[in-house]
Amino acid sequence: MGILSWIILGGFAGWLASLVMGVDKSMGVLLNILTGIVGAVIGGFVYGLFGNTGVTGFNWYSFWVAVVGAIVLIGIVKVFRK
């Protein structure tokens, strides 16, 4: 995937994850993009632990992997903030 694909996929995945986790008001566009990109890496790792593939390109499967990873990332950050 190209850098533009990572930014687009990461932005949408981070935004959706922030909505699910209830932290959307405290996150801006750049933080959503960063959360989605890091979430894609984390999601790929988590899915790999269960024998599945991680991010495979610019498709729906990769989007959901990134969303799951971003939710995990936000959950970890919320635990350490409290």
Identify residue 37 by its one-letter amino acid code. Answer: I
Would you give per-residue pLDDT tens digits along the chain (82 residues)?
688 988 999 999 999 999 999 998 888 899 999 999 999 999 999 988 888 887 787 888 889 999 999 999 999 999 998 7
For the chain, give the secondary structure using H, E and C: CCHHHHHHHHHHHHHHHHHHHCCHHHCCHHHHHHHHHHHHHHHHHHHHHCCCCCCCCCCHHHHHHHHHHHHHHHHHHHHHHC
Q: Which of 74, 12, 19 is nearest to 42 (CA)?
A: 74
Q: How far apart are the first and last CA of the chain?
A: 36
Determine if the pTM surpasses 0.85: yes
Region of 27 on the Ramachandran plot (φ > 0 left; ψ -120 to 50 alpha; else beta): beta
Q: What is the pLDDT at residue 1?
A: 63
Per domain, the residue ranges of the chain are 3-81
